[in-house]
């Protein structure tokens, strides 16, 4: 299935480019021939994520907090706003920083795009659907979010950033796009970031019990990072505004995921059930009809293959 659109970028700015998804996005853009400026304050991103990019022609790093005005050395023709804590452990530790990244950070990234006449792409999230009452979730669904719950600092920051991006397009005619990313995983995730895949892989490789919350019947839809990046770049190239869901429509329960990780690692670890977090969604699955129809995009990497690659990376980077 093709997602090759006849559009290339001379210079892309990626905010949050030292983060998990952002660093993969920077590498993919460089591989396509684009110059790339990574903007990151390293509050959750890691220098080692972009260490192999620093000496590549066309790559530049701007250490900056996007919640404050920032500049880059040359005008971009594409701005991708990915700067935000994204794991529960991070946004619960950095609640105000998270909300500022979604509000002030989005405003500053939009201002950069407007001044350069660049296309702007916002990385939103399936978290805007909250604990959904529609299943699977389509882009037309408005969500079921607790605005004062512990997850609200992330959920509402992203919902606000979507509204701000839409207002920028409607008011100033800006060329904008919104992608809603679902449960991306792969190499460069941090073992202690609180998300299920890195937690389970780290525990299995260490021979520790895999901590499954609640009864483990809650579902997620796991999309390997290479597939996610293809979807992001396809959206940028297509010119659509969105929002568009980018995720894997194949659901898996957390208990099934834990058992699969144990199998793939060859671990002797057992499963241990722990208390489920407040407002933890019961189901999460994207309707990707829009991405299939408009972008000719869908995931290619199976859970077994993607988890295998992720486990291999963790084996080589234990302790990082």
The CATH fold assigned to 11-184+223-247+285-300 is Rossmann fold (3.40.50)
- Element holding 13 (H helix, E strand): strand 11-15
Question: Tokens standing for 256?
Answer: 């099934």
Indicate if 154 belongs to the active site. yes
What pLDDT, on the 0 to 100 scale, is given for residue 4? 44
Strand blocks (E) in 97-207: 119-125, 176-181, 184-185
What pLDDT, on the 0 to 100 scale, is given for residue 8? 84
Q: What is the pLDDT along the chain (320 residues), one digit of tens a residue?
A: 344 444 789 999 999 999 999 999 999 999 999 999 999 999 999 999 999 999 999 999 999 999 999 999 999 999 999 999 998 889 999 999 999 999 999 999 999 999 999 999 999 999 999 999 999 999 999 999 999 998 999 999 999 999 999 999 999 999 999 999 999 999 999 988 889 999 999 999 999 999 999 999 999 999 999 999 999 999 999 999 999 999 999 999 999 999 999 999 999 999 999 999 888 888 899 999 999 999 999 999 999 999 999 999 999 997 54
Domain boundaries, the chain: 11-184+223-247+285-300
Question: Tokens standing for 290?
Answer: 């829009």
CA-closest candidate to residue 172, choices 124, 113, 123, 243: 113
| Strand pairing class (271-274; 184-185) | unpaired
- Omega before 210 cis (within 30°)? no
Alpha helices in 34-151 (DSSP H): 88-93, 95-102, 104-116
Are 216 and 273 within 8 A, CB to CB?
yes
The vertex-175 CA angle with 237 and 284, nearest 5°, equals 65
Strand, coil or helix: 250: coil
pTM: 0.95
**In Å, how far are 146, 200, 208, 239, 259 from 211, measured between CA atoms?**
25, 7, 9, 42, 11
CA distance 119 to 178: 11
**From 91, 129, 154, 224, the catalytic residue:** 154
What whole-number percentage of the chain has pLDDT above 70?
98
What pLDDT, on the 0 to 100 scale, is given for residue 319? 56
């Amino acid at each position: 299935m093709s997602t090759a659109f006849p559009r290339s970028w001379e210079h892309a700015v990626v905010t949050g480019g030292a983060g998990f998804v952002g660093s993969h996005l920077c590498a993919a853009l460089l591989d396509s021939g684009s110059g790339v400026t990574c903007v990151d304050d390293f509050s959750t991103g890691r220098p080692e994520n972009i260490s192999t990019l620093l000496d590549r022609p066309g790559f530049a790093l701007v250490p900056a907090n996007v919640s404050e005005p920032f500049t880059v050395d040359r005008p971009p023709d594409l701005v991708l706003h990915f700067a935000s804590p994204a794991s529960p452990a991070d946004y619960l530790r950095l609640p105000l920083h998270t909300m500022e990244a979604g509000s002030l950070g989005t405003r500053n990234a939009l201002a950069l795009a407007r001044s350069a006449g660049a296309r702007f792409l916002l990385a939103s999230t399936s978290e805007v659907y909250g604990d959904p009452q529609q299943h699977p979730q389509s882009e037309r669904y408005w969500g079921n979010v607790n605005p004062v719950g512990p997850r609200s600092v992330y959920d509402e920051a992203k919902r606000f950033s979507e509204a701000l991006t839409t207002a920028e397009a409607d008011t100033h005619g800006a060329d904008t796009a919104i992608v809603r990313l679902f449960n991306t995983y792969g190499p460069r995730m941090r073992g202690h970031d609180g998300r299920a895949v890195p937690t389970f892989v780290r525990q299995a490789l260490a021979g520790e019990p895999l901590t499954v919350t609640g009864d483990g019947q809650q579902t997620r839809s796991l999309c390997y990072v290479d597939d996610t990046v293809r979807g992001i770049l396809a959206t940028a190239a297509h010119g659509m505004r969105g929002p568009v869901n980018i995720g894997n429509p194949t659901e898996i329960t957390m208990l099934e995921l834990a058992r699969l990780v144990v199998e793939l690692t060859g671990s002797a670890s057992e499963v241990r059930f722990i208390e489920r977090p407040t407002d933890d969604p019961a189901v999460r699955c994207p309707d990707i009809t829009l991405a299939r129809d408009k972008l000719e995009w869908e995931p290619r990497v199976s859970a077994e293959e993607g988890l295998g690659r992720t486990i291999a990376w963790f084996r080589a980077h234990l302790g990082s």
